[in-house]
Structure 1
Amino acid sequence: MSTATPATRQQKVLQFLPPRTKIRSIQECASLWAGYGSISRVYIIPASPTQPSSYILKEISVNHERGDRGVGHTRKLLSYQVESTFYKDQRFAQSLLRDSPGVSIPCPLGVVVENSEASSIFSLTIAMSDLTHEFPLSRSDLDFLHATAALRWLAGFHAHFWGSEETQGDETDGQPISGSGLWKEGSYWHLSTRTEEFESIGNSRKWASVKSVAPAIADWLRAKSNIPGINTGSRRFRTVLHGDPKAENILFRLPSPDPSQPPQCAFYDFQYVGYGYGAVDVAYLMATSVNAGVIAKQEDDLIKVYHDELIMRLSKRSVATDAQEYTLDILKIHLGLALVDWVRFMAGWGMWGNVRWVEEKAKETLSLLKL
């Protein structure tokens, strides 16, 4: 929750909005993790017929000296810095909005970061478009059509950033943030940031095989090594991940009058954008958000939808060779390993989502690859 007076806060917001805009009210929509900030909707009196009636405001204010200075606190602070980079840097959100139609995200209107060691306060303000004008629907359990819409969005996002990872000087500096300002490893559940959960698995016989291969799989997901006999770890196949593509971070358009038209969607919440194999996002979406019955009957169809869209988009870019070489079989191997890694996290943190399917796929992958 912002501590500024209503008048001061309105002046702060107005700097991001078009001239002559008048604010009607600012209403909080959600409080962020551990009270670090809030998300509000800014209702306005439109200055023109084309101006929307509301915008979204994300405000963070954290005292560096607060008692909680553990891994979770550090991870959250860094995630807000990464999100500010994603919206502010021309290479990321603005590039996506300009060059990848159909991969809808909030349009940033302004980003202000204040990180003063003197005051011990980190603050971040992001003003952005309100997606609900075009995408008013949310779903917690994705059916086949809505799952395919989300997978096509991920394919478009991954294709846009395909091959953009810069590694020079990044591998040995010991920092979790890359030179570009994004996470070196997209997602919030990779092993290097979840060592406490990993240790909490203990000596459980159920998870012994997953735990024993976890470090090797983590190295593979970072493209530090290849699985013996399986050369699918090429850095050429890496991209930028959304990092948290669950149903709660997706909005959908109203259904088209034409039933043959698939749903359209938009994603938000870019705190965990970073580099990796696109299958990590696909695994997470399917494990957490797609209806279990849909996965049981149409798993292969879902994976093929993502792969087809990815290859189509890559073929239109200057990475046509990768489009030919990134086969469906390679994607399925990537997906299986990402699911083993997801099981590793859940085994120490707690099970949720499509648990039975995830565990079966993890066992199948370990057996297939003789891990």
Structure 2
Amino acid sequence: MNHLDYLPIIKELGFESIHQVDVLQILWGGYGELVRLSVDDSSIVIKHIRLPKPEHHPKGWNTNRSHQRKLHSYHVELNFYQAYANLCSSNSPAPKALLVKQHGSEWLLVMEDLHQLGYVDVVDKAQSTHISASLRWLAYFHAQHIESPHKGLWDKGTYWHLDTRPDELEALADEDLRCAAQKIDKILTQAPYQTLVHGDAKLANFCFTSDGKFAAAVDFQYVGQGCAMKDVALFMSSAVSPEQCTKEENWILDEYFEHLKQALRLFRPDLDAKHIEQSWRPLFAVAWADFHRFVKGWSPEHWKINPYTEGLAIKALEQIKAYPDR
């Protein structure tokens, strides 16, 4: 869309003119684009979704199931921004929805620009301050939504959960992991204190203040009910190099649970923070094994398959033997 196409939208929001349109990124799989509009003396961000099925997929998974999963993910994101985003606390901020519009096969999600709120940095190499800020965001988000409804969101959050990834499971060459996939999924689904998970909590989906101490999150296509350790595992996989994971694992979990303890005092003082940590911490390896199962079936040469993740999956497979099969 050009400047003129966006004019009716900005007029509806009370702005007068558009000074500039910057494409921030093309949406995954060619489903549209994310743009920043400089309007009057401010700016807004528009997620412009185009629904027709593209001909090519970056990893070759161009199936109807993949297409339907994408469509549902955009419905979920619109639902999140309309019903949940404005409820996010100042400790786990997300851009508020300003306007949601549908024009036939095109959807427009108009949001606050996090730059205007002080979240000016996106990083591809995280320092400890960025990691702590992201874990703090996750902890407060999880604490706020423990045992809360998830109407209009995914029944199982995350983009890799087993129910939507039968093709990748069939392609998985790791027989031990394939045989354990259902049990891993069941353990995570039945874990105590189910909450809302972001579902795609990678480093690229966090924006930071200039000092790196506070984070806001974007991209809520895969938000839904789940075990909080799924978010922590996915985040660590994106923010810590494989060579540093063994060294950083305990610090990251300690940091997350310290933030969670503080968040629970605010949102759920009725819950026992120690018991939640005892319930969740052992599921870190299981949650990562669940993600590892997806990656190995989806892209067997991916860099996220490495000695650390292989070792963690072996640990999880040993661990789940203690759980009943039924």
The alignment's TM-score, normalised by the length of structure 2, stands at: 0.89
How far is 1:165 from its partner? 3.3
Q: 1:184, 1:275 within 8 Å by CA — same for their partners in 2?
A: yes
Aligned residues: 314
Instruction: Name stretches of at least 5 consecutive residues in structure 2 with no aligned partner.
Output: 57-61
Task: Give ranges in structure 1 of 5+ residues lacking alignment.
Answer: 47-52, 115-120, 167-179, 224-232, 256-261
CA contact (8 A) 1:249 1:268 kept: yes
Residue 244 (structure 1) aligned with residue 238 (structure 2): no
Q: Which residue of 2 aligns with 1:14?
A: 11
Matches within 5 A, 1:163-174: 163-165=147-149
Q: Which has the higher helix share?
A: 2
2:287 partner amino acid: A
Q: What is the percentage of aligned positions where both structures have the same residue?
A: 30
1:184-203 equivalences under 5 Å are: 184-201=155-172
Tell me which of 15, 20, 24 is aligned to 2:19: 24
Question: What secondary structure, in the 3-state scheme, does the structure 2 residue paired with 1:63 have?
Answer: coil
What residue number does 1:326 align with?
276
Alignment equivalent of 1:126, drawn from 109, 119, 125: 109
Q: After TM superposition, give the deviation of residue 141 of structure 1 in Å.
A: 2.8
C-alpha distance in 2 between matches for 1:69 and 1:354? 24
Deviation at 1:210, TM superposition (A): 1.1
AA aligned to 1:343 is H
Q: Which moved more, 1:317-326 or 1:34-43?
A: 317-326
1:6 Cα deviation after fit: 3.8
Query: Which digits, 9 at most, give the CA deviation of each residue in 1:292-351, with x for residues without a partner?
Result: 454332311110111111122112234522424213x42222111111111111111123
The residue that corresponds to 1:162 in the other structure is: 146
Q: Distance in 1 between matches of 2:268 and 2:197?
A: 20
Bigger Rg over Cα: 1
Aligned equivalents of 1:65 and 1:336: distance in 2? 35
Deviation at 1:110, TM superposition (A): 1.1
Q: Partners in 1 of 2:16 and 2:3 — Cα distance?
A: 16
- Describe how 1:74-153 pairs up with structure 2 within 5 A: 74-89=68-83, 92-96=84-88, 100-113=89-102, 121-133=104-116, 134-153=118-137
Task: Give CA-to-partner distance per residue, 1:31-58, whole Å, 9 cap, x none.
Answer: 2233321111101222xxxxxx211111
Greater Cα offset, 332-341 or 278-287:
332-341
> 1:110 corresponds to which letter in structure 2?
L
Question: Which of residues 278, 292, 299 is equivalent to 1:343?
Answer: 292
> Using a 3 Å threshold, how does the CA distance of structure 1 residues 195 and 349 change in structure 2: closer, same or farther?
same
Question: Are 1:60 and 2:46 counterparts?
Answer: no
Q: In 2, distance between residues paired with 1:13 and 1:20?
A: 5
2:309 equivalent in structure 1: 358
Q: 3-state SS of the aligned residue for 2:120? A: coil
Of 210, 214, 223, which aligns to 1:264? 214
